[in-house]
Amino acid sequence: MFSRARRIAIPFAGLVAVGLAAGLVSGSSASATAPSDVVSRNATTPAEQAVQFWTPDRIKQATDYDGNLDVSSKGVRGGTQSPDGPPGSVPPIGEEKTKPVKSKHVNLPNTVGRVFFTLPRTNPRNPKNWRYCSASSVQSKYRNLVATSAHCVYDTKHNTFYDNWIFIPSYWDGDKVWEGKAPYGIYAAKTFNAHDDFVVKEDYDYDYAFVNVYNGIKIDWGKDPRGLWKPTVKNVGRLGDNVGGQGFTWNRPTKLNVFSFGYPAGEHPDGDRPYTGRTMKWCYGKTKPMPEARKYNLQEHIGFKCSFTAGASGGPFIYNYKSKSRTGYLVGVNSVAWDTDGNDRFDHISSPYFNTDTYKVYKAAANRWTGNMPRP
């Protein structure tokens, strides 16, 4: 439950290209060993099982969100965000050699969607154990990478990664998602990649993760004579080929104009619920260093004014977003929602500052191959 007497933070959620040639991230191969501070684990739930688990009824009932924090930001000093090396960037899919084009409208990115998962070591058929977050496709060698918050892939209570994890880009209208509302397919997790300091220390300065997903599938759900759901499956190929992928950038200034996208649905501390989670929402503003929150080892977040609530966790902070191409550069992920003035309304969102440590996790993930998932 939220504390209403304190300032509150809860987790919800001009570029130089580095290490890229013809749109491929250079460096270690897909089979190379990741750095010691990068935790990479294959999903314990078989992909075909995860896809079959999320029937239309369960998608509709998955109304619980990521976990929450309750920390005070009153009377603490500012954060210690600063680059730990030279800035770098990897361009979005399709824009490796193109010039940016300005647009006056805000078109929602096809790359952003919702992820669904179940709590580990619990009864997966119990709706109380169903969760969802937001996420986005991001550039990678094999066009199979999803960026989100680490608390949207790893359960710190059970010290393991979540089960039945799938990503649906351009998700819209939850009760009809299986009736043509998942236009680009469904993508099941193969490998989770996170930073050791989040997995071991629960340090929210490292609340980011990159998930390699199998090639997508589309499902035509029908019912058999007994009234049970029966799927017809079609392979639709790689995530990045279908929706594109945002670029990636790190060690940028702490003050940047960014868009944030996500699927908020939770309550404000005062109980008001302005969002439903059924459609994508966006905020725009200029980031700044956020205060530290020692209870969660949080010292290096950047944030800006936005009233997103739980459910938006994992959605992207996008710098230099171009509405015409619907792409820009991932410079953060929705991690924490803040009530900075104590009026029981969330008024800021924040992300871990993306530095060289973030790039290490991204690079390890961006070179992993997945391919087709086993057919359900």
For 316, counting Cβ atoms within 10 Å of its Cβ (0-12 exposed, 13-18 middle, 19+ buried), the class is buried
Give the residue-averaged pLDDT of 9-26: 42
The per-residue pLDDT for 190 is 98
- Burial class of residue 94 (count of CB atoms within 10 Å of its CB; 0-12, 13-18, 19+): middle
Which pLDDT does position 64 carry in this prediction? Answer: 77
The 10s digit of each residue's pLDDT in 130-186 is 999 999 999 999 999 999 999 999 999 999 999 999 999 999 874 444 444 688 999
Which of helix, strand or coil describes residue 333?
strand
What residues have CB less than 8 Å from 260, skipping those under 6 apart?
282, 283, 284, 304, 306, 308, 312, 315, 316, 317, 318, 334, 349
* pLDDT given for residue 17 in this prediction: 34
Percentage of the chain beyond pLDDT 90 is 62
Burial of residue 123 (number of CB atoms within 10 Å: 0-12, 13-18, 19+): exposed
User: Given a cut of 90, is residue 327 above it in pLDDT?
Assistant: yes
pLDDT at 312 over 50: yes
At residue 222 the predicted structure's pLDDT band, cuts being 50, 70 and 90, is confident
Q: Which residue has the higher pLDDT, 105 or 14?
A: 105
Euclidean distance between CA atoms 244 and 318, whole angstroms: 14
Tens digit of pLDDT for each residue in 18-52? 333 233 444 433 344 567 899 999 999 999 999 98
E strands, 12-138, are: 20-21, 24-25, 38-42, 88-90, 112-118, 130-138
Structure confidence at residue 56 (pLDDT): 79
Domains of the chain: which residue ranges? Answer: 8-366
Q: What's the confidence (pLDDT) of residue 78?
A: 52
The reported pLDDT for the residue numbered 118 is 96
Burial class of residue 248 (count of CB atoms within 10 Å of its CB; 0-12, 13-18, 19+): buried
> Is the pLDDT assigned to residue 5 strictly greater than 50?
no
Q: Average the pLDDT over 244-255 and give the result.
A: 97
What DSSP designation does 45 have?
S
* Mean pLDDT for the chain overall: 84
Q: Residue 28 has what pLDDT?
A: 38
192 versus 74: which is more confidently predicted? 192
The 3-state DSSP class for residue 258 equals strand
Tally the C-alpha atoms within 13 A of residue 39's C-alpha that lie toward its C-beta.
19
What span, in angstroms and rounded, lies between the C-alpha atoms of 7 and 294?
14
Q: Residue 119 pLDDT > 90, yes or no? A: yes
